[in-house]
Amino acid sequence: MIRERLSGNEAVAVAMRQINPDVVPAYPITPSTEVPQYFSSFMANGSVDTEFIPVESEHSAMSACIGASAAGARVMSATSSQGLSLMYEMLYIASGMRLPIVLTCVNRAVSAPINIHNDHSDSMGVRDCGFIQLYCESNQEAYDNLIMAVKIAEKAMLPVMVCFDGFITSHSVENIELLEDDIVKQFVGKYEPEHYLLNPNEFISMGPLDLQNYFFEHRKQLADAMKDSKRIIEEVSEEYAKISKRKYNLIENYRMDDSKIAMVVLNSTAGTAKEVVDKLRDEGIKVGLVKPRTFRPVPVKELVESLKDMKAIAIMDKADSINGFCGPLYSEITSALYSEGLNIPTVNYIYGLGGRDVKTSDIEDVFRSLLKIAKDGKKSQTTYYLGVRE
Amino acid sequence: MITDNMGAKDLPIGGNILEDGNSELFNTGEWRNKKPVHLDDKCKHCMLCVMPCPDNAIIHDEYDKMLGFDYNKCKGCGVCAKVCPFKAIEMKDE
Ligand code: SF4
Ligand code: SF4
């Protein structure tokens, strides 16, 4: 084990160096630019033997990922915001062709107006593209998830997006524990795809026309693969715990044991909210926090299990669906609860859009209003925009 | 080999086709709404229609004799009728 101090982007680039992928096509975009930048310096130093392809756009970056992955290569890339938007068309092709590409998504707002700071509009905007999505609270989680992502992707034959917060996580330097290079190499092993284009012993066509009689079946395969990926993520995480002593589940329950009030929140804000949970607990108020690590697949069973006895829940969305109702996390988690016959007063907070700072006092306000809802057993409104000026 | 009734569990994943030379199995003739008809009496067997056919649908023998059309493959684009200098191909409604 190596103790280091790294930014989130650096941590991810170090993981990529340790993984030593065959091909990395990338195009720079704030705040993920540093990932390929650090990685290209590893290339220049000769510490990886990756084929680095500096492409002319993100659409081309994902296209090159698809081509290389179909050829049989282990492939990684990184992007953010508009870059991910520009990849949109190719993301569906990557998953539809069942290519295990690992993409770092450093979360950033999507224009307009132009904003380079963090929210989750980019990855939430592509939530139905067939990528597994892993969300990370800290630099450590970004590093760990990226290494696990390689194995998860290859076992599930699905692309994986590793998401963490732009600037907050990507540019902040934190203490981190790295694994030794050879342990990472051993963990990810050699990529041995079952079918690939450069196999001289097999005839294959990939990505052909697939009309009425087969397309539906292929989409069902994709849906089944996403469902089954839960098991794979759990297995890989179990295996990773053995080498790292860090165990990740599909969701993290923080002080949920005797809690009647919960907040569900992704990524770095979970860190801020844990601080508030501790403070309220010190005052004797029983609150807890649930942090989904996967949003694709949706950990329905785990969420229901954690939330079923709550008296009030706040679901935090750092992205808006602009649907006149609520954010994406809210709609999926409440539908999971409803499908299990649970009708718990649940409110939605759209927060922190475009990098608006979310303070512990903001989170505390949310918990305090939940206390009131839990007491009365009813809410007056569903969706709030946390701290916005009307 | 992919068959019509295969389900999601049996089809090769991701739409892969794990065999070669299978474009032959794709019956592009289904798309046709006009059909080329060979007028044997006018044909000089010059073979000018063979090369431009995008579907390799013109049947001819080794001794350079134009024999007709493979209607499983012919899309009815009419290129052959256009290039024939002797008006020996006529496009008819299906
Ligand atoms: S181009 Fe006309 S004349 Fe020449 S082989 Fe074809 S059909 Fe016959
Ligand atoms: S109509 Fe078109 S496809 Fe059919 S034989 Fe003529 S050139 Fe070929």
Domain boundaries, chain A: 2-244, 251-386
* B40 within a domain of the structure (yes/no): yes
Q: Which pLDDT score is estimated for B23? A: 80
A97 in contact with B, Cβ within 8 Å: yes
Asked whether residue A344 carries a pLDDT value surpassing 90, the answer given is: yes
Q: Which pLDDT score is estimated for A179? A: 98
- Higher per-residue confidence, B2 vs A384: A384
Q: Which among A98, A205, A220 is the nearest to B17, CB-wise? A: A205
Report the amino acid identity of residue A99.
Answer: L
Domain count, chain B: 1
Q: Which pLDDT score is estimated for A134? A: 98
pLDDT digits (tens, 9 = 90+) for B43-92: 999 999 999 999 999 999 987 899 999 999 999 999 999 999 999 999 99
Query: Which residue's CA is the closest to the ligand 2 atom numbered 4?
Result: B74
Of the listed ligands, the closest to the CA of B48 is: 1
The whole-angstrom distance between B31's CA and the closest CA on chain A is 14
A245 class by beta-carbon count within 10 Å (0-12 exposed, 13-18 middle, 19+ buried): exposed
Q: Rounded to whole angstroms, how far apart are CA atoms A154 and B90?
A: 55
Long-range (24+ apart) CB contacts under 8 A made by B58-61 are none
Spatial contact of A78 and A11, defined as CB atoms under 8 Å apart: no
Q: Which pLDDT score is estimated for A200? A: 95
CATH number of this structure's domain A251-386: 3.40.50.920
Q: What is the dihedral of CA A35, A294, A190, A73, to 10 degrees?
A: -60
- Range of the structural domain that residue B47 is part of: 26-94
Query: Which residue's CA is the closest to the ligand 2 atom numbered 6?
Result: B80
- Those of residues 17-46 in B touching chain A at CB distance below 8 A are 17-22
Q: In the structure encoding, which two tokens stand for residue A144, read together?
A: 């760990």
Q: Which pLDDT score is estimated for A44? A: 95
The chain A residue lying nearest B21, using CA atoms, is A203
- How far is residue A205 from each of residues A34, A75, A92, A209, A257, measured CA to CA in Å? 36, 20, 18, 10, 52
Q: Which three-class secondary structure state does DSSP give residue B45?
A: coil
Mean confidence (pLDDT) of chain B:
93
Question: Is the complex ipTM more than 0.90?
Answer: no
pLDDT digits (tens, 9 = 90+) for A88-109: 999 999 999 999 999 999 999 9
Q: In the structure encoding, which two tokens stand for residue A215, read together?
A: 């397309």
The chain A residue lying nearest B17, using CA atoms, is A205
Atom of ligand 2 minimally distant from the CA of B34: 1
Instruction: Say yes or no for a CB contact (<8 Å) between A205 and B22.
Output: yes
CATH code at position B69: 3.30.70.20
The DSSP letter of residue B54 is: T
Asked whether residue B1 carries a pLDDT value surpassing 90, the answer given is: no
Q: Which pLDDT score is estimated for B26? A: 84
Q: Which residues contact A388 (CB under 8 A, 6 or more apart)?
A: none
Mean confidence (pLDDT) of chain A:
97
Q: Which pLDDT score is estimated for B64? A: 82
Count CB neighbours of A56 within 10 A.
Answer: 8
Average pLDDT estimate for A135-151 = 98
Spatial contact of A159 and A102, defined as CB atoms under 8 Å apart: yes
Spatial contact of A1 and A179, defined as CB atoms under 8 Å apart: yes
Q: Rounded to whole angstroms, how far apart are CA atoms A318 and A352?
A: 6
Q: Rounded to whole angstroms, how far apart are CA atoms A243 and A199?
A: 33
Spatial contact of A163 and A267, defined as CB atoms under 8 Å apart: yes
Q: Rounded to whole angstroms, how far apart are CA atoms A276 and A282?
A: 10
Spatial contact of A125 and A155, defined as CB atoms under 8 Å apart: no
Chain B residues whose beta carbon lies within 8 Å of the beta carbon of residue A99: 14
Cβ of B74 less than 6 Å from ligand 1? no
Q: Which among A202, A207, A220 is the nearest to B15, CB-wise? A: A207
The DSSP letter of residue A314 is: E
Of the listed ligands, the closest to the CA of B87 is: 1
Chain A residues whose beta carbon lies within 8 Å of the beta carbon of residue B16: 195, 204-206
Asked whether residue A112 carries a pLDDT value surpassing 80, the answer given is: yes
Instruction: Determine what percent of chain A is predicted with pLDDT higher than 90.
Output: 100
pLDDT digits (tens, 9 = 90+) for A22-70: 999 999 999 999 999 999 999 999 999 999 999 999 999 999 999 999 9
pLDDT digits (tens, 9 = 90+) for A169-213: 999 999 999 999 999 999 999 999 999 999 999 999 999 999 999
Nearest to A274 by CA among A258, A283, A262, A284: A262
B93 in contact with A, Cβ within 8 Å: no
The chain A residue lying nearest B7, using CA atoms, is A217
Q: Rounded to whole angstroms, how far apart are CA atoms A256 and A159?
A: 32
Q: Which pLDDT score is estimated for A337? A: 97
Decide: pTM greater than 0.90.
Answer: yes
Q: Which three-class secondary structure state does DSSP give residue A175?
A: strand
Give the residue, out of B34, B59, B75, with the most ligand 2 atoms within 8 A of its beta carbon, to mutate for a pocket test.
Answer: B75
Count CB neighbours of A172 within 10 A.
Answer: 15
Instruction: Determine what percent of chain A is predicted with pLDDT higher than 70.
Output: 100
Q: Does domain A2-244 have CATH number 3.40.50.970?
A: yes
pLDDT digits (tens, 9 = 90+) for A266-316: 999 999 999 999 999 999 999 999 999 999 999 999 999 999 999 999 999
Report the amino acid identity of residue A77.
Answer: S
Neighbour-count burial for B6-19, b at 16+ CB within 10 Å, e otherwise: eebeebbbbbbbee
> E strands, chain A, where?
2-7, 23-26, 51-54, 76-79, 102-107, 132-135, 160-165, 173-178, 251-254, 261-264, 287-292, 294-296, 312-317, 346-350, 383-385
* B61 within a domain of the structure (yes/no): yes
B7 in contact with A, Cβ within 8 Å: yes
Q: pLDDT confidence of B14, banded at 50, 70, 90?
A: very high
CB-facing half-sphere around the CA of A382: CA atoms within 13 A: 8
Spatial contact of A333 and A300, defined as CB atoms under 8 Å apart: no
Q: Which among B4, B15, B18 is the nearest to A218, CB-wise? A: B15
Q: Which pLDDT score is estimated for A186? A: 98
* B13 within a domain of the structure (yes/no): no
Average pLDDT estimate for A18-22 = 98
pLDDT digits (tens, 9 = 90+) for A240-266: 999 999 999 999 999 999 999 999 999
Count CB neighbours of B2 within 10 A.
Answer: 16
